[in-house]
Amino acid sequence: MDRDSRLKLAVQKSGRLTDPSLDLLARCGLKLARGKDQLVGYGENLPLDVLFVRDDDIPDLVQEDVCDLGLVGLNVIEEKRLALAARGIEASFETLRLLDFGRCRLSIAIPEGQSWSGVSALAGRRIATTYPHLLGQFLARHGVRADIVTLSGAVEIAPRLGRADAICDLVSTGSTLAANHLEEVQTVLESHAVLIRTPVALGAVKSDWVERLLMRIEGVQQVRESKYIMLHAPRAALPEIRRLLPGSESPTIIPLEGHPDKVAIHAVCRENVFWETLEGLKRAGASALLVLPVEKMLA
Ligand code: ATP
Ligand code: ZN
């Protein structure tokens, strides 16, 4: 297969998105052979190669059509979009799919113990961030004028160093904030990883593979929480049992040989099945309960 019919996908080289991105690709069936330089991973069984780069470079690589696709945080994409707009350039990467990993939020935090009366309290204050455009847009929307201190990292120590009164940074658990005696007071952007694609039209072969990849991603995301559940139940308990089965549309109901008053129920539950649910089903008359993980799903 010639080089031009292979998709190039940019993935963060080393960071929070690396493992979940590679895990998603593996679940989509991709076997990667990492080259000696480790910068490119060759798809052994699919016409898709992975370029390992810094996450901040991914929007440009896709926008400039060096890569066809990219896996990156919405926070990076939106900051880039605004940065380009500030230079009069319209961002043209296209978001293909929201992904279920890389969840975090861009939030404003202030030193612990300080009172917070709302966004207007930031007027005239210095706010340290690595996301000046997103913060600027947020402040403008709230009609607040503050001093944005743009840093390239270690934002959380800026208040202690006397460089800022507040920060605007990514938070997931909040433990970094707590360790730095900061308190989250306002969300600026909810973020998660996204799959983006080049604005340039792809040839038929590549387009077809993008479609297939999207379908597989859809399947992978659907099965993450899904379970296949099997059980026996008295016919009379069917309505109650169907009500208790979490997120299942139409269960299969099978007669049980030799037990006219009983049926077997098989259902795909689109939510995790917890012990509480099983106990509830048992109380409703179910027996022989079996819960299995779902490996692949294609609607
Ligand atoms: P690089 O060297 O590639 O520039 P980085 O230091 O900018 O790495 P990471 O800290 O690995 O990036 O974060 C990558 C992405 O992970 C973020 O842009 C964000 O989308 C997501 N993320 C999820 N949770 C968090 C969090 N608690 N803090 C920072 N980023 C998070
Ligand atoms: Zn980065």
Mean pLDDT over 67-75 rounds to: 98
Full-model pTM? 0.86
Nearest residue (CA) to ligand 1, atom 8: 15
Nearest residue (CA) to ligand 1, atom 27: 172
Annotate 51-74 with b (16+ C-beta within 10 A) or e (fewer): bbbebebbbbbbbeeebbbbbbbb
Check whether 123 has a pLDDT greater than 60: yes
Residue 163 near ligand 1, beta carbon < 6 Å = no
* Residues of the chain above pLDDT 90, percent: 90
Q: Can you give the pLDDT at residue 235?
A: 96
- φ, ψ for residue 153 (rounded to 5)? 175, 180
Between 34-38, 74-78, 187-191, the lowest mean confidence (pLDDT) is in 34-38
Q: Can you give the pLDDT at residue 222?
A: 87
Check whether 210 has a pLDDT greater than 60: yes
Residue 16 near ligand 1, beta carbon < 6 Å = yes
Q: How confident is the model at residue 32 (pLDDT cuts 50, 70, 90)?
A: very high
* Residue to substitute in 104, 130, 168, 173 for testing ligand 1 pocket (most ligand atoms within 8 angstroms of CB): 104
Q: Can you give the pLDDT at residue 100?
A: 93
Mean pLDDT over 37-61 rounds to: 94
Q: How confident is the model at residue 248 (pLDDT cuts 50, 70, 90)?
A: confident
Q: Can you give the pLDDT at residue 247?
A: 78
Task: For residues 165 and 71, give the distance between their C-alpha atoms in angstroms, rounded to a whole number.
Answer: 33
Task: For residues 244 and 217, give the distance between their C-alpha atoms in angstroms, rounded to a whole number.
Answer: 29
Q: How far is the CA of 110 from the centre of ligand 2 (A)?
A: 23
Q: Can you give the pLDDT at residue 42?
A: 94
Task: For residues 168 and 162, give the distance between their C-alpha atoms in angstroms, rounded to a whole number.
Answer: 15
Q: Can you give the pLDDT at residue 36?
A: 61
Q: Which is the closest atom of ligand 1 to the Cα of 74?
A: 20
- 124 within 8 A of 99, measured Cβ to Cβ: no
Task: For residues 233 and 222, give the distance between their C-alpha atoms in angstroms, rounded to a whole number.
Answer: 27
Q: Which is the closest atom of ligand 1 to the Cα of 54?
A: 3
pLDDT tens-digit series, residues 265-290: 999 998 888 899 999 999 999 999 99
| Structural domains of the chain ordered from first start | 3-102+193-223 (3.40.190.10), 104-190 (3.40.190.10), 227-293 (3.30.70.120)
